[in-house]
Copies of this chain bind each other. A is one copy, B any other.
Amino acid sequence: MARKSGSNGEKTAKQLREAATVLFAKNGYAAVSMRQIAREVGVQAGALYLYTADKQSLLFDLLDQHMQDLLQAWDVRATPHAVTPMDRLECFVRFHIRFHLLRTDEVFISYMELRNLTPENFEVIQTARRAYEGILHDILSAGQAEGTFNVSDTKVATYAIIAMLIGMNTWYRDEGRLSIDMVEEIYLDLVMSAAGAKR
């Protein structure tokens, strides 16, 4: 597909998403202006409206894309349903950590900016989030049923484990004391213990 000479649209669209992601993560949706984003992209504010209907759509698209990426990546990565709950839990934890540590900004926005979505947009993201929680809840329930795990409430355990894993994003730094590999092992231990896994 030939590109018009002087046209820069695809590149600008990508830059817009990236600049918005970084700025929203750093300063918060409400505190970031379209002019700020435009400055980062290197265009004037008006030009942004060629790529997004409005500021709200910009936020929603970022969150929606992130959740779709997450669920799709899991579908690809998930081990076949035949394996044990223990193996599935290990797979989930490792997947979660790898995926989330590579997208710190997106994860941050996805948890901080939910309240800045319109009710309709919020519902869409909420549904995706519940689907993700459902993955973990299914694993815990299966393990609980067969006696591999031991938690007093699978729903609460699901929330607790997700919160624990998401919390990693608030302190992990690439240049810090721990490598991703080490973090993965540490959290795997914590999650397995919390789930009461008989290993």
A163 near B157 (CB under 8 angstroms)?
Answer: no
**A178 close to B (CB within 8 Å):** yes
Report the minimum CB–CB distance from A65 to chain B (whole Å). Answer: 22
Name the prevailing secondary structure of the A interface residues.
helix
**A102 close to B (CB within 8 Å):** no
Report the minimum CB–CB distance from A158 to chain B (whole Å). Answer: 10
Report the minimum CB–CB distance from A165 to chain B (whole Å). Answer: 8
**A167 close to B (CB within 8 Å):** yes
B167 near A159 (CB under 8 angstroms)?
Answer: yes
**A189 close to B (CB within 8 Å):** yes
A171 near B183 (CB under 8 angstroms)?
Answer: no
Interface residues on A, range: 35 or more
A contacts, CB < 8 Å to B: 26-28, 30-31, 112, 115-116, 150-153, 156-157, 159-164, 166-168, 170-171, 178, 182-183, 185-187, 189-190, 193-196
CB < 8 Å neighbour of A153 from B150, B160, B186:
B186
- Cβ contacts A to B, 18 pairs, < 8 Å: A28-B28, A30-B30, A31-B116, A151-B190, A151-B193, A152-B185, A152-B186, A153-B186, A156-B186, A156-B187, A156-B190, A159-B171, A160-B168, A160-B187, A161-B164, A162-B167, A163-B163, A193-B194
Report the minimum CB–CB distance from A123 to chain B (whole Å). Answer: 17
Contacts of A31 in B (CB 8 A): 30, 116
**16 additional contacts (CB under 8 A) given A156-B186, A164-B164, A193-B193:** A27-B115, A28-B116, A30-B30, A112-B112, A152-B189, A153-B182, A153-B186, A156-B187, A156-B190, A157-B186, A157-B190, A159-B167, A159-B171, A160-B168, A161-B164, A163-B167
